[in-house]
């Protein structure tokens, strides 16, 4: 439990809750706490899925510009590595991760949402990568995860212009997956995550790794990653339980082994 980030667990779902007034600016301490929470929920066998949430008003307004403004290059070279490590820890959570996006998700806030598998946004949400307006570029995955998600041309438009997009446009270009009334964002994210509670945790982890690693590879390498992950599931108890339940027309009760 950190000062600005905490984990809330209920019914197999963990919420990583950002709470740094007023705008959840991602300073060094907040980054470190996010990374620690990500590692915590990844290792917790009682957690089947994860929700990223910044509260009712804002998801995260980005990195703490005041903290970065006067950093010399040598210090920033080290800081940027730590910044990316924080986001990578979230992206590497081996469980379904849902970003519940309310209010602003800008700069580092948008990059944090990009680390999730699914993004659910409120109707008034605004997303974007405005770093270019500060004379810099995204540094926590925006130039890499964004084009992989929405394609290079749309990603370049957002990165080059620094403009903010509405939830409606974000849905249209594939930046978010579902838009709901603002008041329903967290509940919708929890409901989506809850469907994985009690599910085949090892298979879900393998599926996520196969997709993510495959996207970083050529097709042949990706297919080999898939083959190895697929065949490895046959060494698990969950695979035997699932296929036995199928043949017996019963409900599978997975063990996570």
Instruction: Tell me the pLDDT tens digit for each residue of 55-82.
Output: 999 999 887 788 888 888 999 888 888 8
pLDDT at 65: 83
Domain total for the chain? Answer: 2
> Does the residue 255 lie in any domain?
no
172: Cβ contacts below 8 Å, ≥ 6 apart: none
The CATH number that applies at residue 215 is: 1.10.12.10
Together in a domain, 56 and 110: yes
Q: In terms of domains, do 160 and 190 share one?
A: yes
Burial class (CB in 10 A: 0-12, 13-18, 19+), 250: exposed
Residue 256 is assigned to a structural domain of this protein: no
Q: Are residues 190 and 206 in the same domain?
A: no
Q: Which pair of structure tokens corresponds to residue 59? A: 């998801």
Is there a catalytic annotation at residue 168? Answer: no
175 domain-assigned: yes
Among 131, 169, 216, 237, the one annotated catalytic: 131
Do 76 and 113 reside in the same domain of the chain? Answer: yes
pLDDT at position 160 over 80: yes
Residues 42 and 139 in one domain: yes
Which of these is catalytic: 111, 168, 216, 237?
A: 111
Statement to judge: residues 164 and 228 lie in one domain? no
Q: Is-contact 24 5, C-beta < 8 A?
A: no
- Digit-coded pLDDT (tens) for 83-126: 899 999 999 999 999 999 999 999 999 999 999 999 999 999 99
**Chain mean position to CA 84:** 13
Domain residue limits at 101? 5-194
The domain boundary, picked from 194, 211, 234, lies at: 194
Helix axes 219-232, 201-215, angle to 10 degrees: 170
Residues 117 and 139 in one domain: yes
Instruction: Indicate whether 5 pLDDT > 90.
Output: yes
**Of 154, 172, 194, which marks where a domain is finished?**
194
Q: Would you place residue 37 in the very low, low, confident or very high pLDDT band (cuts 50, 70, 90)?
A: very high
Residues 243 and 133 in one domain: no
Domain end marker among 169, 194, 219: 194
Regarding whether 239 and 136 lie in a shared domain, the answer is: no
- Rg (the chain; Cα; Å): 19
Domain contains 109: yes
- Is residue 253 domain-resident? no
Do 163 and 243 reside in the same domain of the chain? no
105 lies in the same domain as 147: yes
Mean pLDDT of the chain: 95
| pLDDT at position 128 over 90 | yes
pLDDT digits (tens, 9 = 90+) for 172-220: 999 999 999 999 999 999 999 999 999 999 999 999 999 999 999 999 9
Whether residue 131 lies inside any domain: the answer is: yes
11-15, 96-100, 176-180, 244-248 — which is least confidently predicted?
A: 244-248
**For residue 220, what are its two tokens?**
């042949």
Q: What is the pLDDT of residue 179?
A: 98
Residue 119 has what DSSP assignment? E
Q: What sign has the CA pseudo-torsion 157, 158, 164, 167?
A: positive
Helix (H) or strand (E) holding 85, with range, is helix 73-91
Cβ contacts of 196 within 8 Å, gap of 6 or more: 12, 13, 48, 49, 95, 96, 204
Give me the CATH number covering residue 181: 3.90.226.10
Together in a domain, 179 and 208:
no
Q: Is 188 a catalytic residue?
A: no
Closest among 109, 104, 99 to 125, alpha carbons compared: 104
Two tokens at 72?
Answer: 């010399």
Q: Is 257 inside a domain boundary? A: no
Let me know if residue 254 belongs to a domain: no
Q: What is the pLDDT of residue 64?
A: 79
b/e sequence 203-234, b meaning 16+ C-beta within 10 Å: bbbbbbebeeebeeeeeeebeebbeebeeebe
């Amino acid at each position: 439990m950190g000062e600005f980030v905490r984990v809330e667990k209920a019914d197999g779902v963990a919420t990583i809750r950002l709470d740094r007034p007023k705008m959840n600016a991602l300073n060094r301490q907040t980054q470190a706490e996010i990374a620690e929470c990500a590692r915590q929920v990844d290792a917790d066998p009682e957690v089947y899925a994860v929700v990223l949430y910044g509260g009712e008003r804002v998801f995260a307004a980005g990195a703490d510009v005041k903290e970065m403004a006067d950093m010399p290059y040598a210090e920033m070279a080290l800081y940027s590595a730590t910044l990316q490590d924080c986001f990578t820890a979230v992206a590497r959570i081996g469980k379904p991760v849902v970003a519940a996006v309310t209010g602003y998700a800008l700069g580092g806030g948008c990059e944090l949402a990009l680390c999730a598998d699914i993004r659910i946004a409120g109707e008034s949400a605004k997303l974007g990568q405005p770093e270019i307006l500060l004379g810099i570029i995204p540094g926590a995955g925006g130039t890499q995860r964004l084009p992989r998600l929405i394609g290079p041309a749309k990603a370049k438009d957002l990165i080059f212009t620094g403009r903010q997009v509405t939830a409606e446009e974000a849905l249209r270009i594939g930046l978010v997956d579902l838009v709901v009334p603002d008041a329903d964002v967290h509940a919708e994210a929890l409901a989506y995550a809850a469907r994985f509670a009690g599910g085949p945790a090892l298979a879900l982890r393998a599926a996520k790794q196969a997709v993510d690693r495959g996207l970083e590879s050529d097709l042949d390498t990706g297919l080999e990653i898939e083959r190895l992950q697929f065949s490895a599931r046959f060494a698990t108890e969950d695979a035997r339980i699932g296929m036995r339940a199928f043949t017996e027309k019963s409900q599978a009760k997975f063990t996570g082994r």
